[in-house]
Amino acid sequence: MSEKELRINPPKVFDRNRDNFIPFVQDARVYLLLNDKSYNTDQKKIIYVLSFMNEGTAKTWKEAFLDSVFNDVNQDYGKFSNFLLNIKGAFSTADSKGEARAQLRQLKQGKGTADKYISQFQILAGRSKISDDKALIEYFMERIHTSILSKIFALDKIPITIKEWYDKTS
């Protein structure tokens, strides 16, 4: 008797938007890991991921990939690890660190909450690979509400680490 597939939120359909690529692959891999008994071959894993590539240039890429498989005498899908490298090459940002830094420069709190801003900032900071607190603090301070910034500067002890800035802002 085969094990029943565990249902969690599957990945969202991937259309080619590079901003959605990493979450798409992560969601697919988590789902496949959770259901490793059902998706126990490279072919099953690849077909699962392909099933969510139904829009935009992702659909075109999928069609080209499947054409190459179906035109192969063995109809070999290849290794899942190679497949992931191929889609990463096709859809990930060439300079993901640089793009994340550019997005940090554009990010601002706007009408959103401080906690939402902090969450978005942390994601982009992680992708940017910036590890220097001073540089992160500079990016962070540039785009929070001036009213929050004024309150932080009015404190007896101004934060000196990015974590302290997150805590005080929240």
Tens-place pLDDT, residues 119-163: 999 988 988 889 899 999 999 998 899 999 999 999 999 999 999
Question: 32-36, 98-102, 115-119: which has the minimum mean pLDDT?
Answer: 98-102
**pTM of the entire structure?**
0.59
Residue 141's nearest CA partner among 126, 160, 123 is 160
Rounded Cα–Cα distance for residues 163 and 161 (Å): 5
Is the Cβ–Cβ distance between 80 and 46 less than 8 Å? yes
Tokens of 162: 């990015």
**CB-based burial label for 156 (10 Å; 0-12, 13-18, 19+):** exposed
Task: Look up residue 6 and give its amino acid.
Answer: L
Domain residue spans in the chain? 18-91, 96-169
Give the separation between CA 64 and CA 53, rounded to whole angstroms.
Answer: 12
Q: What average pLDDT is seen over the chain?
A: 89
Question: What pLDDT digit, counting tens, does each position of 103-113 carry?
Answer: 888 888 988 89
> Widest CA span of the chain, in angstroms?
73
| Whether pLDDT at 78 is above 70 | yes
Encoded tokens for 134? 């001073």
Q: Which two tokens stand for residue 52?
A: 């969510």
Q: Which residue has the tokens 């597939």?
A: 5
